[in-house]
Structure 1
Amino acid sequence: MKLSILEQSPVLSGMNAHDALKQTTELAQWADKLGYHRFWVAEHHSTDSLAGSTPEVLAAHLAGKTENIRIGTGGILLPHYSAYKVAETFRVLETLHPGRIDLGVGRAPGGKPNVNLALNKNKFPSVEDYPAKISELMAYLHGEDPQGMGISATPHGNSSPPIWMLGSSGTSARLAADIGASYSFAHFINGHGGTKAMERYLNYFNASIQQQEPKGNVSVFAVCAETDEQAEYLAASLDLAILKIEQGKQIRRFPTPDEALNYSYSMFEEERIQENRSRIIVGSPDKVKMELESLAESYFVDEVIINTIVTPFEARLKSYELLAKAFQLTPRST
């Protein structure tokens, strides 16, 4: 089974955005050495606790700092942007790093509602245009002129970055199938209904200029440590952070485990934390490995993308290292 990483560039307690992006770079290099398959970076706007607002820029930086691992976006929020401009951006990336670039796209706003207005000249983007934009993007990436304007997305090349459609619902799964893109389900966002969404994608997939067969993966929060007890301690900070975000409270930094354990939870909040554990896998290497394999099997995929947010940063590195060893990934010399 392939293991990959989704990185949101979290700003940990006592750190700033510069630290977060520096840690993202170090993590990508670490993942490359450990043998992870791909490394995706997310797009979040006006969010103090997450430093990655321009994944295409960050992906370019990371591709230049790594040697073998696939680098991509998880994802570009396409309704905000011109399909032609996105295609040219990723044609440049593919030309610089042929065969190593993934173009993950989504349709979420990526932040507060007003982010939509700021990115779209004080107008809300049309969600109805999203399917057409995906088709247009795929055409431009493969040298076509979908609008008949006598133009092409340059630079031209012998390979094109694959489009991965990111989603957390059956609607996105069916769209990915109709268009013939790869599909990634965000189990870390929605811990329910994902297997049916993936099944819908696999059953209704149409061949496209990009690929002839369906290709899917699933992303999930995971926290791994030497023991179950240590992993539970580290995961407490993620539990609290998710709870606060759900409550609409903007966190400036991700809390430490001690801050989380000293927090006074209401009965409702404790119940909500347990519910949120449906999208988090926590434990020792053997436990997490078993649950990741079970998750992949339930989704009918051979790749899981892991998102680990714990404090301190060294614990994040260790979590990914323990899983690489548990899955016997082949280390690379970089």
Structure 2
Amino acid sequence: MKLSIVDLSTVIPGETRHDALMKSIDVAQHIEKLGFHRIWVAEHHGAASIAGRAPEVLIPAIAANTSSIRVGSGSVLLNHYSVFKVAEVFCTLNELYPGRIDLGAGRATTGPITDFALQQDRSKQFRSDSDQQITELVAWLDHSFPDDHPFAKAPIHTIDSHPELYLLGSSAWSASAASQLGLPYVFAGFINQKGTRQIIDSYRSGFKPSAGRTGVKSPEVILSVHVVCADTEEEARRQIAPVHVMYDNLARGIIDAQMPAPDDAVKKLGGLPSLETYMKGSGKPPRFVAGTPDQVHEQLTQLSNDLSVDEIIIQDMMTNHDARLHSYDLLAGVFDFI
């Protein structure tokens, strides 16, 4: 099974956004040596605890400081932007770093203010759907606009270096769009635990092989889950505590709080958080997969087998950088990367 990382550039307490971005580069260099398959960087807007807001900027910084690991977006929020511009940006990245660039596309609302601020035409109501955008993106990359489309005969010669295209999501819409366009599908299991099996199954059952260069001939599913690995179960619980605090804040409508250090998070929670355990056969990932190397290995392997996926992309928002790197060391060891 392949393991990869999606990085949010979490701002560690007492540090700056610059520090967070530099640590993203450090993470990429570290996991490349360990044998992880890819690193993707996320797009978040307006978050005090997350510095990752411009994948197209961070991707080349990471690619320039690594040599072989695949680098991409997880994801670029296509519903906010010009599709042609996104295609040109990622083709440029692939020209700079041939064969290493992934264009992970998705959609999201980012909050009422930032949704409005991201739009060029503010005379129209914001729409969160992106059916037209993902279809157009495929057409740009494949040069497959219908003959009667305004872009079909456009004298454009800049879309000829192809990144690998993936559709990311956590909803029935994303599964349907990926299957109809013949795209690899990345499901965010840390967002929608209950719908994981049903949505992945719907993608596979509705899949139509791609006839273009950007798609695939058979269904490809990657699962994204939140994972923390430590030497002991107690330490894993301590390192997962900051994310529990974050979710507690979000549940109360607090979206601009900094993430705490592990020990401060434990104090806020009134003790170490409990660990969820994956229930064999359920296809429903825990919100957090955490524990010792053997515990994490067992859960991820069973989850991969139950959902028939051969790659897992790990998200984590640990606020102890050394513990985070050690988590990757332990994962690489138990999955026989090293």
Q: TM-score, normalised by structure 1?
A: 0.90
- Aligned-pair distance for 1:199? 0.8
Partner AA of 1:246 in structure 2: A
The equivalent of 1:249 in structure 2 is 254
Give yes or no for the alignment of 1:212 onto 2:217. yes
Change (3 A) 1:2 1:153: farther
- Aligned-pair distance for 1:9? 0.6
Take 2:335 and 2:156, find their aligned partners in 1: how far apart are those partners? 40
The equivalent of 1:308 in structure 2 is 316
On the 8 A contact 1:143/1:152 being kept in 2, the answer is no
Partner AA of 2:296 in structure 1: V
- SS in structure 2 of the partner of residue 40 of structure 1: strand
Give yes or no for the alignment of 1:83 onto 2:83. yes
On the 8 A contact 2:46/2:114 being kept in 1, the answer is yes
On the 8 A contact 1:140/1:153 being kept in 2, the answer is no
Which of these residues, 303, 317, 330, is aligned with residue 325 of structure 2? 317
Q: Deviations over 1:32-83 (max 9, x none)?
A: 1111001010001111110011111111211111111110101011111111
On the 8 A contact 2:76/2:105 being kept in 1, the answer is yes
- Aligned-pair distance for 1:125? 3.5
- SS in structure 2 of the partner of residue 185 of structure 1: strand
- SS in structure 2 of the partner of residue 222 of structure 1: strand
Give yes or no for the alignment of 1:281 onto 2:283. no
Structure 2: stretches of 5+ with no match in the other structure = 278-283
Structure 1: stretches of 5+ with no match in the other structure = none
Change (3 A) 1:178 1:243: same
Give yes or no for the alignment of 1:51 onto 2:56. no
Change (3 A) 1:254 1:264: closer
Give yes or no for the alignment of 1:260 onto 2:265. yes
Partner AA of 1:234 in structure 2: Q
The equivalent of 1:72 in structure 2 is 72
Partner AA of 1:51 in structure 2: A
Partner AA of 1:311 in structure 2: T
Take 1:249 and 1:42, find their aligned partners in 2: how far apart are those partners? 21
On the 8 A contact 1:84/1:153 being kept in 2, the answer is no
Q: Map 1:1-334 to 2 at 5 A.
A: 1-109=1-109, 111-120=110-119, 121-122=121-122, 123-128=124-129, 130-145=130-145, 147-149=149-151, 150-151=153-154, 154-157=157-160, 160-208=162-210, 209=212, 210-263=215-268, 278-330=286-338
Take 2:242 and 2:181, find their aligned partners in 1: how far apart are those partners? 39
Take 1:124 and 1:195, find their aligned partners in 2: how far apart are those partners? 34
- SS in structure 2 of the partner of residue 44 of structure 1: coil
- SS in structure 1 of the partner of residue 286 of structure 2: helix
Change (3 A) 1:173 1:225: same
Aligned residues with identical type, % of pairs: 39
On the 8 A contact 2:166/2:185 being kept in 1, the answer is yes
- SS in structure 2 of the partner of residue 262 of structure 1: helix
- Aligned-pair distance for 1:154? 4.5
- Aligned-pair distance for 1:280? 0.5
Q: With CA pairs under 8 Å and 6+ residues apart, which has the higher RCO, 1 or 2?
A: 1
Take 2:140 and 2:85, find their aligned partners in 1: how far apart are those partners? 10
- Aligned-pair distance for 1:145? 4.7
Partner AA of 2:228 in structure 1: V
Take 2:316 and 2:334, find their aligned partners in 1: how far apart are those partners? 16
Take 1:45 and 1:264, find their aligned partners in 2: how far apart are those partners? 26
- Aligned-pair distance for 1:7? 0.4
Tell me which protein shows more helix as a share of its residues.
Answer: 1
Partner AA of 1:291 in structure 2: Q
Take 2:197 and 2:285, find their aligned partners in 1: how far apart are those partners? 17
On the 8 A contact 1:145/1:152 being kept in 2, the answer is no
On the 8 A contact 2:245/2:269 being kept in 1, the answer is no
Take 1:318 and 1:303, find their aligned partners in 2: how far apart are those partners? 21
Take 1:153 and 1:47, find their aligned partners in 2: how far apart are those partners? 37
Take 1:235 and 1:164, find their aligned partners in 2: how far apart are those partners? 29
